[in-house]
Chain A
Amino acid sequence: MEILKLNNVSYSYNKKVDVLTDVNLSINAGEDIAIIGHNGSGKSTLGKLLISLLKPRSGTLSFNGTIIDNKNDSLIRAKSGIVFQNPNNQFIGVTVRDDIAFGLENKCVPHEKMDAIINEYASKMGVSNLLDKEPSTLSGGQKQRVALAGILAMLPDIIVFDEALAMLDPKGKKEISELIKEIKKNNPALTIIRITHDLDEAFNSDKVVVLSKGKIMFNDTPINVFKHVNELKELGLDIPFVVKLNQALLNEGLISEVDYNLHSLAKKICK
């Protein structure tokens, strides 16, 4: 079922240069989509338009079939959340607890129920012991967990990750991607939109949308998208290492069929 649809959407920040031009995009509920493109291609803008944090200059956004405008945008706001790249930009509360409470207060959840909800999601995200801390004292990975706890407490249908892993160290990156996987497993209907430069992250999504200069160039499964090595190169984009390696091996006849799992690929090479 289609949850989000952009219909001929254009957007510009200063009315001179279009950041996005005539974008059409349909996303089904439960899809895990990666949006890739070079810096300045319009990725973050697209992410924000998809959950109505920005309004199209022309064209429309539909959420579950309803066209979103200034009057009804609370429909999608209440059902979506965004995790930013720099976690420091997203904290409002003085303590972690306040921060998670913020969204719930906006949603008018009664105070007597709030504590239980906060505790539940803090525990799910593994930050129960941090509830009384100041967000600024946390590590990058902890901050992203807190941000996720706040969003999940709102029972969203859509989460946008705007380069949410980019600033984390390898351990933090691994932990948060495992956590996202876990969240998705427990809630298959959740729609995930990942704005990312991480080609491995994109490769593991259901679909990859490639943006360039404000236009969608590709919108397909990762394998189909990353086939277009030369076109992607022209757009200044690379392809995942494992795809590159497979192509090089295949070209030289060192393997007879592609294998995107490094372990079994190594076995095939050694046969």
Chain B
Amino acid sequence: MQIKFNHVFFTYNADSPFKVEALKDINLELSENNITAIVGRTGSGKSTLTELINKLLTPTSGEVHINNLVNAPKVKIKGKAIKEFRKEIGFLFQFSENQLFEDTVLKDVMFGVQSFYPKNKNPEALAKQALTLVGLDESFYNRSPFDLSGGEKKKVAIAGVLAYQPKLLILDEPTAGLDVKGKKEIMDLFKKIHESGVAIILVTHDMDVVLDYADKMIIIDDGQIQKIGAPKDILQEDVEKYNLETPNIYQVIHLLKANGKNISSNVNDIPSLIKELKHHG
């Protein structure tokens, strides 16, 4: 998956007194099959960025290239062509558990395949495959999505996206509202999906998730890219000015350093910290 932003600007309500410049001159290239985290405070422009990739929005100026598809102001894309964008890119919204609507789990998961690939002869097989991947067995097929727990509903929504086999998955706050186990389960699932060849863009406030799962992180603030790099490098710096939470482990490391302790930059969890303290006590 090749994603390229070329001098992209996006302004909401451009010709009105309520105009908001959400993105200002974004240049970005994502070519590796990474898990990329996009982070930043509410209103920083991070959702706008992902919505440009999926062509939910069109840039005010500049171009977004997704493989051979172009999203730019003068490029008219309608009907079928928009489908080309959307079926390559799975978008999982926040509160995805609320987007279920069919009367059985299986039908719900089949819906995306059927609308993107109306000629596909076996949407059911793809749906079942996707449900297996998210860990829902056949006992779920004929249940109503509305009788499931929040976590199960979320899995159904994920399966619904996976079933049409997108090459890129955009996740908007996928772990919000999940418990620790659910969070780990779902992120491990995304990691597995990623390993099967799907690139992932992750929009999140959870820096622990970024540290544990993302290969790359991009901090957006004030409509511009502020930082881009490996999470373990960036998160050791001061990220609170972007209204991001410093992961617990780095909070401790900062405090230890402030008290005169020397801690190597490889320490990124409790076991490695303990090891460091024991050996260089």
B-binding residues in A (CB < 8 A): 13-14, 36-40, 85-86, 139-140, 163, 166-167, 169-172, 197, 199, 236-238, 241-242, 244-245, 248-249, 252, 254, 262-263, 265-267, 269-270
Contact = CB atoms under 8 A, between A and B. Distances in A.
Contact of B181 (A166, A237, A248, A265): A237
Contacts of B147: 13-14
B176 interface: yes
B140 to A, nearest CB: 14
A103 to B, nearest CB: 25
A238 B181 CA distance: 8
B81 interface: no
Contact of B41 (A85, A169, A241, A266): A169
B149 interface: yes
Given A40-B151, A167-B176, A237-B179, A263 B255 contact: yes
Contacts of B244: 170
Contacts of B245: 170
B278 interface: yes
Given A236-B180, A238-B180, A172 B252 contact: no
B180 A237 contact: yes
Given A40-B150, A163-B177, 13 more contacts: A166-B176, A166-B177, A197-B179, A199-B180, A236-B179, A237-B179, A244-B270, A245-B270, A248-B270, A252-B278, A266-B256, A266-B259, A269-B261
Interface residues on B, range: 35 or more
B252 A245 contact: yes
A262 B254 CA distance: 11
Nearest to A37: B179
Contacts, number: 96
Nearest to A19: B149
B274 A267 contact: no
A204 to B, nearest CB: 15
A40 B180 contact: no
B42 interface: yes
Q: Which residue of B42, B147, B150, B178 has the most chain A CB atoms within 10 A of its CB atom?
A: B42
Given A38-B182, A40-B150, A249-B274, A172 B42 contact: yes
Nearest 7 CB-CB pairings of A with B: A236-B181, A266-B255, A40-B149, A39-B151, A270-B259, A238-B180, A241-B248
A166 B98 CA distance: 16
Given A241-B248, A270-B261, A39 B176 contact: no
Nearest to B277: A254
A195 to B, nearest CB: 11
Contacts of B281: 254
A245 B274 CA distance: 9
A9 B54 CA distance: 48
A267 B259 contact: yes
11 contacts: A14-B147, A38-B181, A39-B149, A169-B205, A171-B243, A236-B180, A248-B274, A249-B274, A249-B277, A252-B274, A265-B252
Interface of B: 41-43, 94-95, 98, 147, 149-152, 173, 176-182, 205, 243-245, 248-249, 251-252, 255-256, 258-261, 270-271, 273-274, 277-278, 281
A171 B178 contact: no
Nearest to A42: B149
A262 B255 contact: yes
A170 B256 CA distance: 23
A39 B178 CA distance: 7
A266 to B, nearest CB: 4
Contacts of B173: 167
A36 to B, nearest CB: 8
A248 B271 contact: yes
Nearest to B208: A241
A197 B243 contact: no
A218 to B, nearest CB: 15
B255 A171 contact: no
A142 B274 CA distance: 41
A205 B150 CA distance: 25
Given A248-B274, A266-B252, A269-B256, A169 B42 contact: yes
A213 to B, nearest CB: 12
A14 B148 CA distance: 11
Contacts of A245: 248, 252, 270, 273
B177 A197 contact: yes
Given A39-B149, A254-B281, A86 B95 contact: yes
Nearest to B278: A252
A115 B181 CA distance: 46
A38 B179 contact: yes
B177 A262 contact: no
